[in-house]
Amino acid sequence: MKSTKLNLAIILTVTFSLAALADDDSTNAPAPTLPPASTKTGVTFDADIKPIFHDSCVKCHDSAGAKPPKARLALDTRDGVLKGSKDGPVITVGDSAHSDLVLAVAHVGDDPDEFMPKGRNAKPLTPEQIGLIRAWIDQGAK
Ligand code: HEC
């Protein structure tokens, strides 16, 4: 009899702990994931990436503008992207999944302030565009 009560107590404790854990999970939105890299081969900055950055990023990240680019990060040239920002590199050549620029455009991370593009009328990049940027980085950022 005693042991039945003990078992019951254990079961209840475990059940409540699990319920608490499950509750914790449900209050957090599911972690966003990165769109897969494009399967396109021979991806280059000039042919594939420059048009994307031109449309969505260069108004704030332009090496040739009147003002310095935001975060001192120029995205109008391949050299600018490779050089990175005032805080250092924004891509890891060969490893798009750990490239800050990719996380920023895929809206992965804890700080929405870092999500790009910014601005009132900012339109997020499409999964296809993010996939191309990933393929470009994974293929050596040529
Ligand atoms: C409306 C202006 C604006 C647009 C458009 C914009 N950015 Fe930014 N970006 C900023 C500002 C401002 C910062 C400085 C840091 C911050 O506010 O988070 C920044 C910072 C960054 C950083 C982090 C640099 C660092 O190391 O601190 C990356 C990467 C970045 N932008 C990429 C992009 C990409 C890629 C696009 C286009 C898809 C884009 N941005 C479009 C304004 C913009």
Do 127 and 65 fall into the same domain?
A: yes
78-112 in b/e form (b: 16+ CB < 10 A) is: bebbeebbeeeebbeeeebeebbbbbbbbeeeeee
Do 80 and 130 fall into the same domain?
A: yes
User: Which of 8-12, 74-78, 119-123, 126-130 shows the lowest mean pLDDT across its residues?
Assistant: 8-12
Evaluate whether residue 37 is within a structural domain: no
pLDDT at residue 9 in the model: 57
Evaluate whether residue 129 is within a structural domain: yes
The whole-chain average pLDDT of the chain stands at 87
% of the chain residues with pLDDT over 70? 77
Q: Which domain holds residue 11?
A: 1-30
Do 67 and 104 fall into the same domain?
A: yes
The protein residue with its alpha carbon nearest to ligand 1, atom 2, reads: 60
**Average pLDDT of span 16-31:** 52
Q: In angstroms, what is the span from residue 72 Cα to ligand 1's centroid?
A: 9
Does this model's pTM top 0.85? Answer: no
Evaluate whether residue 38 is within a structural domain: no
Do 63 and 13 fall into the same domain?
A: no
Evaluate whether residue 132 is within a structural domain: yes
Evaluate whether residue 40 is within a structural domain: no
pLDDT at residue 26 in the model: 46
pLDDT at residue 25 in the model: 47
Evaluate whether residue 39 is within a structural domain: no
pLDDT at residue 6 in the model: 56
Atom of ligand 1 nearest to the CA of 87: 26
Do 68 and 14 fall into the same domain?
A: no
Spatial CA neighbour of 89 closest among 77, 101, 78 = 101
If one counts the domains in the chain, the total is 2
pLDDT at residue 3 in the model: 58
Residues in the ligand 1 pocket, defined by CB under 6 Å: 56-57, 59-61, 70-71, 73, 75, 85, 87, 90, 100-101, 104-105, 113-114, 116-119, 122, 125
Evaluate whether residue 77 is within a structural domain: yes
Q: In angstroms, what is the span from residue 45 Cα to ligand 1's centroid?
A: 18
Alpha carbon distance 4, 10 (integer Å): 10
In this structure, which amino acid lies at residue 78?
R
The answer to whether residue 1 scores a pLDDT higher than 60 is no
pLDDT at residue 23 in the model: 47
